[in-house]
Amino acid sequence: MLTHASLAQALGTRPFRFFPSISSTQNEALVWLKGNAPQGAVVIADEQTAGRGRMGRIWHTPAGVALAMSVILRPSPQDAKQVFMAGAVSVAEMLEGLNIAHVSLKWANDVRIGGKKVCGVLPEAVWEGDKLQGVVLGMGVNVRVDFGDSDLAQTATNIETALGKSCDRTDLIVRILRRLDEWTPQLGSEALYQAWRSRLDTLGTTVSADGITGIAHDVTRDGALIIRQADGTDHMIIAGDIS
Ligand code: BTN
Protein backbone atom coordinates (compact mmCIF):
# COMPACT_ATOMS: atom_id res chain seq x y z
CA MET A 1 0.00 0.00 0.00
CA LEU A 2 1.27 3.48 -0.84
CA THR A 3 1.40 5.68 2.24
CA HIS A 4 3.21 8.83 3.25
CA ALA A 5 5.05 6.87 5.94
CA SER A 6 6.30 4.12 3.62
CA LEU A 7 7.43 6.70 1.06
CA ALA A 8 9.16 8.82 3.72
CA GLN A 9 11.15 5.80 4.80
CA ALA A 10 11.96 4.71 1.23
CA LEU A 11 12.81 8.11 -0.22
CA GLY A 12 15.10 9.28 2.57
CA THR A 13 16.02 12.94 2.16
CA ARG A 14 14.32 13.44 -1.24
CA PRO A 15 11.60 16.11 -0.99
CA PHE A 16 8.23 14.60 -1.90
CA ARG A 17 4.53 15.23 -1.68
CA PHE A 18 2.11 12.33 -1.45
CA PHE A 19 -1.61 12.45 -2.09
CA PRO A 20 -4.00 9.50 -1.60
CA SER A 21 -6.11 11.24 -4.27
CA ILE A 22 -5.38 14.28 -6.43
CA SER A 23 -6.54 15.68 -9.74
CA SER A 24 -3.09 15.27 -11.34
CA THR A 25 0.40 14.97 -9.86
CA GLN A 26 1.53 16.93 -12.89
CA ASN A 27 -0.48 20.01 -11.89
CA GLU A 28 0.79 19.88 -8.31
CA ALA A 29 4.40 19.53 -9.51
CA LEU A 30 4.02 22.45 -11.93
CA VAL A 31 2.94 24.68 -9.04
CA TRP A 32 5.80 23.40 -6.85
CA LEU A 33 8.28 23.92 -9.69
CA LYS A 34 7.21 27.57 -9.98
CA GLY A 35 7.92 27.83 -6.24
CA ASN A 36 11.06 26.54 -4.61
CA ALA A 37 11.07 22.85 -5.49
CA PRO A 38 14.61 21.51 -5.79
CA GLN A 39 15.84 19.25 -8.54
CA GLY A 40 14.53 15.71 -7.98
CA ALA A 41 11.52 16.66 -5.86
CA VAL A 42 8.64 14.32 -6.63
CA VAL A 43 4.86 14.34 -6.39
CA ILE A 44 3.24 10.93 -5.99
CA ALA A 45 -0.42 9.96 -5.85
CA ASP A 46 -2.31 6.76 -5.30
CA GLU A 47 -5.24 7.96 -7.38
CA GLN A 48 -5.65 10.70 -9.99
CA THR A 49 -9.10 12.01 -10.77
CA ALA A 50 -8.03 14.09 -13.77
CA GLY A 51 -4.74 12.54 -14.90
CA ARG A 52 -3.37 14.00 -18.09
CA GLY A 53 -1.82 12.08 -20.97
CA ARG A 54 0.00 13.32 -24.04
CA MET A 55 -1.83 15.37 -26.66
CA GLY A 56 -4.64 16.37 -24.33
CA ARG A 57 -5.73 12.83 -23.60
CA ILE A 58 -7.11 11.58 -20.29
CA TRP A 59 -4.85 9.27 -18.23
CA HIS A 60 -6.69 6.98 -15.84
CA THR A 61 -5.10 6.23 -12.46
CA PRO A 62 -7.56 4.31 -10.30
CA ALA A 63 -6.62 3.88 -6.62
CA GLY A 64 -4.35 1.03 -5.63
CA VAL A 65 -3.30 -0.25 -9.04
CA ALA A 66 -0.83 2.12 -10.66
CA LEU A 67 2.01 4.56 -10.21
CA ALA A 68 1.45 8.24 -10.83
CA MET A 69 4.48 10.39 -10.23
CA SER A 70 5.83 13.73 -11.42
CA VAL A 71 9.50 14.56 -10.91
CA ILE A 72 10.78 18.13 -10.98
CA LEU A 73 13.99 18.64 -12.94
CA ARG A 74 15.94 21.81 -13.65
CA PRO A 75 17.99 21.10 -16.77
CA SER A 76 19.53 23.55 -19.21
CA PRO A 77 17.29 24.41 -22.19
CA GLN A 78 19.48 22.28 -24.46
CA ASP A 79 19.41 19.24 -22.18
CA ALA A 80 15.68 19.59 -21.54
CA LYS A 81 15.00 18.00 -24.93
CA GLN A 82 16.22 14.66 -23.57
CA VAL A 83 14.19 14.66 -20.34
CA PHE A 84 11.56 12.37 -21.86
CA MET A 85 14.33 9.92 -22.84
CA ALA A 86 15.56 9.79 -19.24
CA GLY A 87 12.02 9.00 -18.05
CA ALA A 88 11.36 6.26 -20.59
CA VAL A 89 14.80 4.66 -20.21
CA SER A 90 14.59 4.74 -16.39
CA VAL A 91 11.26 2.91 -16.40
CA ALA A 92 12.52 0.43 -19.03
CA GLU A 93 15.62 -0.26 -16.92
CA MET A 94 13.50 -0.71 -13.80
CA LEU A 95 11.50 -3.39 -15.64
CA GLU A 96 14.65 -5.04 -17.00
CA GLY A 97 16.05 -5.04 -13.47
CA LEU A 98 13.04 -7.11 -12.42
CA ASN A 99 14.01 -9.59 -15.17
CA ILE A 100 10.94 -8.79 -17.23
CA ALA A 101 11.55 -9.82 -20.84
CA HIS A 102 10.61 -8.05 -24.07
CA VAL A 103 10.82 -4.54 -22.68
CA SER A 104 10.99 -1.92 -25.44
CA LEU A 105 10.10 1.68 -26.24
CA LYS A 106 7.64 2.87 -28.82
CA TRP A 107 8.64 6.25 -30.22
CA ALA A 108 8.68 8.57 -28.62
CA ASN A 109 8.21 7.61 -25.00
CA ASP A 110 5.83 4.73 -24.43
CA VAL A 111 7.37 1.90 -22.44
CA ARG A 112 6.14 -1.49 -23.57
CA ILE A 113 6.24 -5.10 -22.47
CA GLY A 114 5.73 -7.57 -25.31
CA GLY A 115 4.58 -4.73 -27.52
CA LYS A 116 1.89 -3.55 -25.07
CA LYS A 117 2.05 -0.21 -23.29
CA VAL A 118 2.88 -0.36 -19.59
CA CYS A 119 3.96 3.24 -19.01
CA GLY A 120 3.41 6.68 -20.47
CA VAL A 121 5.76 9.61 -20.02
CA LEU A 122 4.73 13.26 -20.07
CA PRO A 123 7.42 15.98 -19.96
CA GLU A 124 6.16 19.54 -19.43
CA ALA A 125 8.52 22.52 -19.50
CA VAL A 126 7.87 25.78 -17.66
CA TRP A 127 9.30 28.95 -19.20
CA GLU A 128 9.41 32.45 -17.77
CA GLY A 129 9.98 34.56 -20.84
CA ASP A 130 13.01 32.98 -22.50
CA LYS A 131 14.27 31.42 -19.26
CA LEU A 132 13.56 27.76 -18.59
CA GLN A 133 12.34 27.32 -15.00
CA GLY A 134 12.35 23.56 -15.17
CA VAL A 135 10.62 20.49 -16.47
CA VAL A 136 8.04 18.28 -14.81
CA LEU A 137 8.56 14.68 -15.86
CA GLY A 138 5.31 12.77 -15.43
CA MET A 139 5.32 8.99 -15.42
CA GLY A 140 2.26 6.79 -15.25
CA VAL A 141 2.88 3.08 -14.81
CA ASN A 142 0.32 0.29 -14.92
CA VAL A 143 1.17 -2.00 -12.02
CA ARG A 144 -2.00 -4.06 -11.73
CA VAL A 145 -4.52 -2.09 -13.78
CA ASP A 146 -7.07 -4.62 -15.06
CA PHE A 147 -8.09 -3.79 -18.62
CA GLY A 148 -10.61 -6.65 -18.64
CA ASP A 149 -11.95 -7.32 -22.09
CA SER A 150 -11.97 -3.67 -23.10
CA ASP A 151 -10.24 -2.58 -26.33
CA LEU A 152 -7.31 -1.38 -24.19
CA ALA A 153 -6.46 -4.98 -23.31
CA GLN A 154 -5.20 -5.37 -26.89
CA THR A 155 -2.65 -2.57 -26.53
CA ALA A 156 -1.89 -2.20 -22.82
CA THR A 157 -0.57 -4.42 -20.07
CA ASN A 158 0.69 -4.17 -16.50
CA ILE A 159 3.79 -5.15 -14.55
CA GLU A 160 2.22 -7.85 -12.40
CA THR A 161 0.95 -9.74 -15.44
CA ALA A 162 4.49 -9.77 -16.80
CA LEU A 163 6.00 -10.74 -13.44
CA GLY A 164 3.40 -13.34 -12.58
CA LYS A 165 3.33 -12.10 -9.00
CA SER A 166 2.41 -9.00 -7.02
CA CYS A 167 4.90 -6.23 -6.44
CA ASP A 168 5.34 -3.35 -4.05
CA ARG A 169 4.70 0.07 -5.59
CA THR A 170 7.00 1.87 -3.15
CA ASP A 171 9.83 -0.40 -4.28
CA LEU A 172 9.04 0.34 -7.95
CA ILE A 173 9.15 4.09 -7.26
CA VAL A 174 12.54 3.77 -5.55
CA ARG A 175 13.90 1.73 -8.47
CA ILE A 176 12.70 4.25 -11.06
CA LEU A 177 14.07 7.23 -9.13
CA ARG A 178 17.41 5.47 -8.69
CA ARG A 179 17.72 5.07 -12.46
CA LEU A 180 16.53 8.64 -13.04
CA ASP A 181 19.14 9.98 -10.62
CA GLU A 182 21.77 8.19 -12.73
CA TRP A 183 20.49 9.65 -16.00
CA THR A 184 19.70 13.20 -14.92
CA PRO A 185 23.36 14.34 -14.87
CA GLN A 186 23.71 12.73 -18.30
CA LEU A 187 20.93 14.68 -20.00
CA GLY A 188 22.14 15.72 -23.45
CA SER A 189 24.66 12.90 -23.59
CA GLU A 190 25.36 10.36 -26.31
CA ALA A 191 24.97 7.61 -23.68
CA LEU A 192 21.37 8.59 -22.89
CA TYR A 193 20.52 8.98 -26.57
CA GLN A 194 21.90 5.49 -27.29
CA ALA A 195 20.15 3.95 -24.26
CA TRP A 196 16.87 5.33 -25.63
CA ARG A 197 17.53 4.65 -29.31
CA SER A 198 18.67 1.05 -28.76
CA ARG A 199 15.35 0.18 -27.05
CA LEU A 200 13.09 1.65 -29.75
CA ASP A 201 11.04 -1.13 -31.32
CA THR A 202 9.80 1.38 -33.89
CA LEU A 203 12.96 1.65 -35.99
CA GLY A 204 12.80 -0.32 -39.24
CA THR A 205 9.03 -0.76 -39.11
CA THR A 206 6.44 0.86 -41.37
CA VAL A 207 4.78 3.77 -39.59
CA SER A 208 2.32 6.56 -40.30
CA ALA A 209 2.38 10.00 -38.72
CA ASP A 210 1.13 13.40 -39.84
CA GLY A 211 -0.29 11.78 -42.99
CA ILE A 212 3.16 10.43 -43.92
CA THR A 213 3.75 6.69 -44.30
CA GLY A 214 7.17 5.13 -44.58
CA ILE A 215 9.89 3.28 -42.74
CA ALA A 216 10.92 4.61 -39.34
CA HIS A 217 14.48 5.22 -40.49
CA ASP A 218 16.17 6.84 -37.50
CA VAL A 219 15.81 9.25 -34.59
CA THR A 220 17.70 12.46 -33.89
CA ARG A 221 19.47 13.34 -30.64
CA ASP A 222 16.56 15.67 -29.85
CA GLY A 223 14.17 12.76 -30.17
CA ALA A 224 12.59 13.49 -33.55
CA LEU A 225 11.62 10.56 -35.78
CA ILE A 226 12.84 10.39 -39.37
CA ILE A 227 10.38 8.64 -41.66
CA ARG A 228 11.76 7.57 -45.02
CA GLN A 229 9.12 7.33 -47.75
CA ALA A 230 9.21 4.87 -50.64
CA ASP A 231 10.62 7.55 -52.96
CA GLY A 232 13.55 8.08 -50.57
CA THR A 233 12.28 11.38 -49.16
CA ASP A 234 12.90 11.85 -45.44
CA HIS A 235 10.33 13.52 -43.16
CA MET A 236 11.11 14.56 -39.63
CA ILE A 237 8.34 14.19 -37.05
CA ILE A 238 9.09 16.25 -33.96
CA ALA A 239 6.19 15.16 -31.80
CA GLY A 240 3.00 13.24 -32.06
CA ASP A 241 1.78 9.70 -32.39
CA ILE A 242 2.68 7.01 -34.85
CA SER A 243 0.52 4.14 -35.91
C1 BTN B 1 0.93 9.36 -22.15
O2 BTN B 1 -0.05 9.90 -22.67
O3 BTN B 1 1.39 8.30 -22.56
C4 BTN B 1 1.58 10.02 -20.95
C5 BTN B 1 0.86 9.70 -19.69
C6 BTN B 1 1.48 10.35 -18.46
C7 BTN B 1 0.67 10.08 -17.22
C8 BTN B 1 1.36 10.57 -15.98
S9 BTN B 1 0.67 9.88 -14.50
C10 BTN B 1 1.60 10.99 -13.55
C11 BTN B 1 1.53 12.34 -14.25
N12 BTN B 1 0.31 13.03 -13.90
C13 BTN B 1 -0.50 13.20 -14.93
O14 BTN B 1 -1.60 13.79 -14.89
N15 BTN B 1 0.04 12.67 -16.03
C16 BTN B 1 1.34 12.07 -15.76
Say how many CA atoms lie within 13 Å of 92 toward its Cβ.
Answer: 29
Query: How many helices and strands, by DSSP H and E, does the chain display?
Result: 7, 11
In this prediction, residue 146 carries a pLDDT of 86
Which residue, by CA, sits nearest to atom 11 of ligand 1? 138
Q: Which of 143, 83, 94 is nearest to 118 (CA)?
A: 143
Architecture in CATH of 4-197: 2-Layer Sandwich (3.30)
What are 16-48's pLDDT values in tens digits? 999 999 999 999 999 999 999 999 999 999 999
Per domain, the residue ranges of the chain are: 4-197, 206-237
| pTM for this entry | 0.96
In this prediction, residue 184 carries a pLDDT of 98
CA 230 / ligand 1 centre spacing (Å): 35
Distance CA 163, CA 229 (A): 39
What atom in ligand 1 is closest to the CA of residue 52? 14
CA 25 / ligand 1 centre spacing (Å): 8
Whether 59 is in the pocket of ligand 1, judged by its Cβ within 6 Å, is yes
pLDDT along the chain (243 residues), means of 10: 96 98 98 96 98 95 97 97 97 98 96 98 96 98 91 93 96 98 97 98 92 94 94 89 80
Strand 16-22 vs strand 42-48: parallel, antiparallel, or unpaired?
parallel
What atom in ligand 1 is closest to the CA of residue 140? 9
In this prediction, residue 228 carries a pLDDT of 95
Distances (CA, A) of 153 to 65, 117, 143, 146, 149: 15, 10, 14, 8, 6
